[in-house]
Amino acid sequence: MRQFGEIEGVYPGQIFANRAELAKSGIHPPNQAGISGSIIEGADSIVLSGGYEDDQDYGDRILYTGAGGRDEKTKQQIADQELTGKNLALAKSKLYQLPVRVTRSHKHKSEYSPDEGYCYAGLYIVEDYWCERGISGHYIWRYSLVSCELAGLDKQNDTKELDKPPGYKETERKVVLVKRIVRDTTKARRVKEWHGYKCQVCGMALETSAGLYAEAAHIQPLGMPHSGPDDESNILCLCPNHHVLFDNGGFTINEDMSLNGIDGHLITNRKHKIDIRFITYHQEHYQQLK
């Protein structure tokens, strides 16, 4: 299984002598490709290696160029790039907000590049992707990446860390947090796949350029004071509209799966067992009193 997030034992700033060592560490498994990923799972890692004239590097923010369209010998951009293969994988990481590992090669021209070898820079989020004419005049796909630290994502689960042991180190904390984010994503994705990304209320799946989109809605909310579990039996697959309504008193679900507040029934699926206790908790707390 593709590993997203931090790799145990590797810290941001660590240097690798060559691509083979970088691959062996688990940071960036492929030996040549700049993007590691698949169109189903998304991209887990990229390497900035100075190959693309349109790349721009501001440290915490990076404008990265997709793959393809170059002459193999001259490395010149000679054709348009397409949103397929590795480029689509990186777009999917935006759609699902997956953490992407970033590594800089000494060949990449920036003040953040190492003098020799490959320097692992840490986790980034793909904030946006789009296409535009590059310096060559050909269309390229561009990705803006922002460091998870800058985005405040390394703070997001701080409140769950209240009982951390004495002598707990900063780098360890980050690894723990990112693993948690990724584990959540796996369960959420499983529920979405069971439903084919179709909303369990309206049956619609949103078609974006990076594929189908749906959201995972926790029925009994996570975190204090509700303390719902992060488990498939406590997750619904909803479109963004029905997610907003579900979280803000727009509708609740009755025990027989009929809806309260809007018409219809929850669309269910044999693989996806919902725990009725979470449905009841949600109804007790979010249903409109008369």
The residue ranges that bind a copy of itself (CB under 8 A) are 56, 58, 60-61, 63, 80, 82-83, 94-95, 128, 130-132, 139, 142, 144, 150-153, 155-156, 158-159, 204, 206-210, 213, 221, 224-225, 239-241, 243-245, 247-250, 284-286, 288-289
Q: Please state the closest distance from residue 46 (CB atom) to a copy of itself, in A.
A: 18
Token code pair at residue 113: 């590049």
Nearer to a copy of itself, 138 or 190 (CB): 138
Nearer to a copy of itself, 140 or 235 (CB): 140
Nearer to a copy of itself, 51 or 211 (CB): 211
- The amino acid occupying position 131 is C
Handedness of CA 93, 95, 98, 99 (dihedral sign): positive
Q: Please state the closest distance from residue 245 (CB atom) to a copy of itself, in A.
A: 6
CB 234 within 8 A of CB 278: yes
Distances from the Cα of 192 to the Cαs of 6, 97, 208, 248, in angstroms? 24, 15, 15, 21
CB 269 within 8 A of CB 198: no
Nearer to a copy of itself, 118 or 246 (CB): 246
Q: Please state the closest distance from residue 110 (CB atom) to a copy of itself, in A.
A: 16
Q: Please state the closest distance from residue 267 (CB atom) to a copy of itself, in A.
A: 17
Q: Please state the closest distance from residue 272 (CB atom) to a copy of itself, in A.
A: 22
CA distance 274 to 194: 13
Give the residue ranges of DSSP H helices in the chain.
19-25, 85-95, 170-194, 240-247, 276-286
